[in-house]
Chain A
Amino acid sequence: MKQNEVAFKIAGEAGQGLNVSTLNLARTFTRKGFHAFLLTDNPNSIKLEPTWCSLRVSTSLIASQTERIDVLVALKTDAVLRYQAEVSDDGFIIYDEDAVNPEGEKQLAGIKYLPVPLSRIANTMKAPDLIRNTIALGGFLALIDYHPAGMKEIIAEVFARKGEAIVNQNISALEAGFNFVQNNYGSFIRKRLPEENGPARLFLTGNDALSLGAIKAGCKLLAAYPMTPASPILHYIASKEREYQIVVKHTEDEIAAMNMAIGANFAGVRAMTCTSGGGFSLMVEALGMAAQSETPVVVVVGQRPGPSTGQPTHTGQGELQFLISASQGEFPRIIIAPGDATETFRETFNAFNLAEKFQVPVLILTDKYLAESYTDWSELKDDDLKIDRGKLLTEAQLSAEQNYLRYQITSDGISPRSIPSQQNGIHVATSYEHDESGWYQEDPAGVKKMYDKRFAKMPFILKEMKEPKLYGPDEAQITLLAWGSTKGPVLEALERLANEGIAANLVHLTYLWPLPVEALSGLIKNAQKTIMIEGNYTGQLAQVIRQETGLKIDHILTKYNGQPFYPAEICAKVKEVL
C-alpha cells in the first residue's frame, strides 16, 4: 500500500446510493486539502444491476484513477468475487457479513477479509438498508485512522433538507461503523494520510466545469434533450437559470434543441446544446445549416460507446471522425476535446468566443469518463477570460452602412454581423448557397466565391488552434500521443514509467480540428518512437494525423470495451513496444 495515498472502492448494486456516499467521503478529504479522483461506473439501470464507485485520495496531485484498491467495501457477495482481484496484496475487504458470504469462495492470499454486521447495525438503528454505505464508510475511516469529524459535517449538510432525525441517524451510523472497526480490527488500523493537507479544494466533474465555462462565457440559452452523459449539464445549468438569467429549454428532441440554439444565436445571444452521439446524429442536418448561414453555435458531444444505443452509461472516444465529417457538404468547423476539468472550463469559455469570432459551429467533445469523473481544483482561475464577440456590429457601426451585406466577402472570410432589432442590418440568413446579400446564388462563379469565402477563414482559425502540449521530458525513448480525457491515465503512466527508468513523454491534443498540423508534425518527427493511445477500435486520431500530415504513428493502443484507460495497461504496452 502506497504511503500518503488511499484507493477505495465500494461495490454493490444500482440504487444503493454508492455515488452519493463516495462523493461525501471524497469531500471529507478535499476539504482538508487532499487531491482526489472519483470514478463512477453506472450500469444502464436505475436499480439492482451491479455497480461500483471508486475514490483515490492523495497528498499530491493525481490525474486519474488507479487499478489497485486498498480498501474494497462489498455490499453484495458478487462484489467480492468481481473485484477482489483488484485489491492490493496488503489490502482489505470490508463486507456486510449479513448479506455477503465470501466463505467457501476462493479467497486471495494477503488480503484481509473483514466482516462487519452492516445490515444488523442498520436494523438495530431501524434505519433503511441504504444506510449500510454510511456504516461502511465509518469503518473505512477507522481502518485508515482518519478522524470522522469532517465526514460528519458533510453528512449534516447533505442530509439537512431531510431533517434532523435523518442527519442524526446517519451520523450515528458513521460512528457505529467507525467504532465497530476500532473495537474489532484494531490490529489492522494504520494511519495512511495526515489529518490535513492544505486549504480546502474544489471538487467537481467535467460536466460541472463545462457548465461553469458556459455560464462564464455568457451562454444565455441552453436547449437540450436528455442524453447520458451530457444530461448533468442540462440539470446543472437549469438549476442556475434564474440566478444567471439563462433560459434552459428541455426540447421535444435533439433536432429542436439544435435548431433552437441556432435561432437564438441568430438573434444575438450565445446559445448552446449538449448531447451524446445519438442525439448529435439528429442535430447533424442543422449543423450544416449553422455553417451555411454562418450562424455561431456551440455543441457539446459527450461520447459513450456506440453504435446506436451502444453502452449508454460507459465511456469511449469513437466520435472524432464522425464530428469531423458530420453533415453534407464541406465547411469550416472547430473541434475541441478538453483533457481534464480545468481545460473543460477554459476551453468551453473559449468555444463561445471562437464560434462568434469565426461564425462557425464549435463542437466540444467530451466523454463519460471526463464528464462524470470528479477531480480537484485549488481555486477558480478566470480573471484572464475575456469575452470576444468578433465582428458583431453595433447600432452605430450599422448606421454608417449604406447597403449592409450580411455575407460580405472579406479578406479573412468573416463578414460583419448584424442581429435582428438593429435598424440598418436587415438581412436574410439562409441555408441555401447565396450571394453577399443572402439572395440565392446559382451562378457558378458566384457559388465558388462564397465557398472560397467560407474557407478563407481556415488559416485564421488555425492560428487560434492551441498547439498540442508536450508533457514529460523533451527527450524521451518513446512519445505517447493522446487526445481528450485519455490525458489523465497517460500522465499517471508517464510517472510510473519514469520511476522505472523509462523516459516517456506525452503529446496531448485538445484542439483536434482543424488539426494543428505544423506543431504536431514537428513533435512527431522529433520523437524516437510513437504510440497512440485512444478509446476506439480503429485508431481515429492516428488515421486523421496520417491523412493530414502524412506521418504514421508507429504503434497504437486502443480500448473499446466501455471502460477508461488505466495507467497500468498503458505502461505495459509501452514496455512491449520499446
Chain B
Amino acid sequence: MVTPLELKTEHNPSWCLGCGNYGILNGLKSAISQAGLEPHLTVLVSGIGCSGKDPHFVKTYGFEGIHGRVLPVATGIRLANHKLKVIGCAGDGDAYGIGGNHFLHTMRRNVEITYLVHDNQIYGLTTGQTSPTSVKGFATKSTPFGAIEEPVNPVSLAIAAGATFVARVFVGEFNHFKQVLTQALKHKGFALVDILQPCVTFNHLNTYPWFKQRVYKLEDEPGGHEPLDRMKAFIRAQEWGERIPIGVFFQETKPTYEDQLPQLKERPLAEQDISSVDISKTISEFI
C-alpha cells in the first residue's frame, strides 16, 4: 500500500499560511493510502482556483483543466478507463457556480467520481469575490453592499439531484474528515464531499473559530443519523446557522453509469484493440 509520504511530489504548495488546503491535501494523501488506491491507477482532475493546484502535490496522474469543467473531464477519463479511480478537486465557485450544470448532470448519471469541493465560501485566487456559497449579505469586492442572493446549499442540492454519496466535512475536524474521505473514495458511484475550509486571507467571517463553534457530527446526535434515509438526510441538510452538521448525510447503492454500459463489460475502452476495425458488414447497410 502506498504511504502518504510516498504520495508527496517534489513540489511544495504555496497557499497562504493557515489555508485549509494544506489540511485537505494531507487528508487526501492519507485517504488515498487508507483506501488502498494505486498511484498509477488514480487520476486527480482539477479546475482553476487555489484548489486547482492539488494534482501537482499528489504523486498520481493528474489533469489540471479549466474553470468549472472538472466533472466532464473526469467523466471522459472514467468512461475511457473505468479501472481508474477518478478524483475531482474543485472550489465552490468552480463546482457550484460556473460548473453548476455539470454538477447537476454528473450526479444524476452516478459516474464513479469522488468530488472534493474545497468550499471556502469565497473566490480566493481571484483575490476575494462573493461565491455561490457565500452567506446572504456577505460584502466583498464584487458585492460591496452585501450579497443579495441566498447561498447554494450543496448538500441538499446533491441529495435532490440523485448523488449516491453526499457528505460535508470540516477540515478543522481532521480525523473525521480523513475518515469520511476514505469512505467516499470507497463508494461505488458519485460521491460529493463538500469540505468546509476557511480562507484565512479573504474570508474573515467563516473562520476556524466560527466553524469550531458550530459544527457537529451527525453520528454524535442522540439517535445518530441514518444515511440510507433520503428524506431525513434532506431535512438535516437544511440546517445551517448556529449549528452546522457534518458527516455522511446520504448514501445509497445504485449501479453506476459505467456499470450499465455493455461496451465496458469485457474491458475498458482504453484497453480495446483499434488496430484493424472491420466495418465491411456495416457498409453493406448502405446499399
Contacts and interface: CB of A to CB of B under 8 A. Distances in A.
Interface of A: 27, 30-31, 200-204, 208, 212, 215-218, 220-221, 223, 240-247, 249, 251-253, 255-271, 285-286, 289, 293, 377, 380, 382, 387, 419-432, 438-440
A243 B285 CA distance: 14
B75 interface: yes
Given A221-B269, A245-B263, A426 B40 contact: yes
B55 interface: yes
A428 B274 contact: no
A242 B263 contact: yes
B40 A266 contact: no
B92 interface: no
Nearest to A27: B287
- Which of under 10, 10 to 19, 20 to 34, or 35 or more describes the interface residues of B? 35 or more
B73 A259 contact: yes
A421 B40 contact: yes
B63 A263 contact: yes
Contact of B282 (A27, A212, A257, A259): A212
Contacts of B16: none
A308 B101 CA distance: 22
B116 to A, nearest CB: 16
B145 interface: no
A259 B76 contact: yes
B103 to A, nearest CB: 10
A3 B267 CA distance: 57
Interface stretch (B64-72, B185-193, B222-230, B240-248): B64-72
B159 interface: no
A293 B45 CA distance: 13
B55 A428 contact: yes
A31 B286 CA distance: 10
B73 A245 contact: no
A541 to B, nearest CB: 31
B236 interface: no
B118 interface: no
B233 interface: no
B61 interface: yes
Nearest to B101: A252
Nearest to B275: A387
B43 interface: yes
Q: Lowest 5 CB-CB distances: which A-B pairs, in order?
A: A263-B76, A218-B274, A428-B62, A267-B80, A259-B72
A31 B76 CA distance: 41
B217 interface: no
Nearest to B39: A426
B76 A420 contact: no
9 contacts: A212-B283, A223-B76, A251-B105, A260-B72, A261-B76, A263-B73, A266-B63, A266-B76, A267-B270
Given A221-B79, A256-B102, A264-B79, 17 more contacts: A212-B279, A216-B277, A242-B262, A244-B277, A246-B269, A252-B101, A260-B72, A260-B79, A263-B73, A263-B74, A263-B80, A289-B66, A387-B275, A420-B77, A421-B83, A421-B270, A429-B62
A178 B197 CA distance: 78
B11 interface: yes
Given A202-B283, A203-B286, A240-B282, A428 B56 contact: yes
A249 to B, nearest CB: 7
A438 B44 CA distance: 14
B76 A427 contact: no
A223 B48 CA distance: 23
Contacts, number: 194
A382 B41 CA distance: 36
B104 interface: yes
Contacts of B80: 220-221, 263-269, 271
Contacts of B60: 426
B163 to A, nearest CB: 15
A31 B45 contact: no
Contacts of B71: 256
A420 B102 CA distance: 23
Interface of B: 11, 39-41, 43, 45, 48, 55-56, 59-66, 69, 71-77, 79-81, 83-84, 101-102, 104-105, 261-264, 269-270, 272, 274-277, 279-280, 282-283, 286-287
A269 B84 CA distance: 13
Nearest to B257: A249
Contacts of B79: 221, 247, 249, 260, 264
B76 A221 contact: yes
B61 A420 contact: yes
B269 to A, nearest CB: 4
A431 B72 CA distance: 15
Given A251-B72, A264-B79, A431 B66 contact: yes
A202 B102 contact: no
B76 A264 contact: yes
A263 B45 contact: yes
Contacts of A438: 56, 62
Given A252-B105, A421-B40, A421-B84, A245 B59 contact: no
Contacts of B270: 220, 267-269, 419, 421
A289 to B, nearest CB: 5
A153 B253 CA distance: 51
Nearest to A209: B286
B267 to A, nearest CB: 9
A498 B65 CA distance: 55
A221 B283 CA distance: 20
B76 A268 contact: no
A533 to B, nearest CB: 29
A218 B79 CA distance: 15
Contacts of B102: 252, 255-256
A429 B63 contact: yes
Nearest to A374: B286
A33 to B, nearest CB: 11
A328 to B, nearest CB: 11
A299 B227 CA distance: 43
B12 to A, nearest CB: 11
A419 B268 CA distance: 13
A423 B64 contact: no
Given A256-B72, A256-B102, A267-B77, A420 B41 contact: yes
Contacts of B61: 420, 425-428
A417 to B, nearest CB: 12
Contacts of B75: 249, 256, 260, 263
Given A245-B269, A247-B269, A286-B66, A268 B275 contact: no
A440 B41 CA distance: 24
B269 A264 contact: yes
B194 to A, nearest CB: 21
Contacts of A259: 65-66, 69, 72-73, 76
A220 B272 contact: yes
A245 B277 CA distance: 11
A332 to B, nearest CB: 19
